[in-house]
Amino acid sequence: MRRTLLAFASGLLFGIGLLVSRVADPAKVLNFLDVTGHWDPSMALVLIGGIMVASVAFAIGRRLPHPWFGTSFPTLASSGLTPRLVIGAGLFGIGWGLVGLCPGPAIVALPLAPLRAGVFVLAMLSGLWGTRLVTNRIALVRQSASPRAGAVVQNSR
């Protein structure tokens, strides 16, 4: 129950931050991205503020033996730049640039602009589902194409 309340409080704080900084307003984001038109550099302050807060949190986290509300830190396999990462980042950037929304602000914007944000969220969920489907299909094809572990490979002579 404590973890659920902490997750709820964290999400609520994140959502309030998105509203206060106006990141959930697609027009504000699009004006920041429009460097040749009505450019609004104020969104850069939001990004710099996020980097500063994350830097402090990572510095504190490196000194802790375990998370404050957990038993161990998650470990991720670092595989560097992969085609999947580059394609995903590109699609994220294109979506953000076209609509002015990314996942967090889109969910916060649902009650504010249900049609615009709703279409985006549905497209985002469809993309997530489609990616999972394709990724699982590729894994199955690769698994069936490779010899099974422990199987005897016969000599072709």
* 108-124 pLDDT, tens digit each: 889 888 898 899 899 98
pLDDT value of position 9: 93
Alpha carbon separation from 88 to 11, 40, 81, 84, 149 (Å, rounded)? 24, 26, 11, 6, 31
- Greater confidence (157 vs 126) lies with 126
pLDDT at 104 over 80: yes
Q: Which domain holds residue 108?
A: 2-145
pLDDT bin (cut points 50, 70, 90) of residue 151 is: low
Tell me whether residue 92 is in a domain.
yes
Query: Average per-residue pLDDT in the chain?
Result: 85
Instruction: Answer yes or no: is 154 within a domain.
Output: no
Rounded Cα–Cα distance for residues 38 and 143 (Å) = 51
Between helix 26-33 and helix 83-99 the angle, nearest 10°, is: 110
**150 in a structural domain:** no
- pTM value? 0.67
Indicate the number of domains in the chain: 1
| Rounded Cα–Cα distance for residues 25 and 112 (Å) | 9
Assigned token pair, 1: 């129950």
The length of the chain, given as a count of residues: 157
pLDDT at 157: 47
User: Is a pLDDT exceeding 70 seen at residue 88?
Assistant: yes
Please check whether residue 155 lies inside any domain of the structure.
Answer: no
What token pair was written down for 8? 């709820």
Count the neighbouring beta carbons within 10 Å of the beta carbon of residue 121: 17
Residue 36, amino acid: T
Within-domain flag for 22: yes
Rounded to whole angstroms, the maximal C-alpha distance in the chain is 72
Give the tens place of pLDDT for each residue, 28-57. Answer: 888 888 889 888 888 899 889 989 999 999
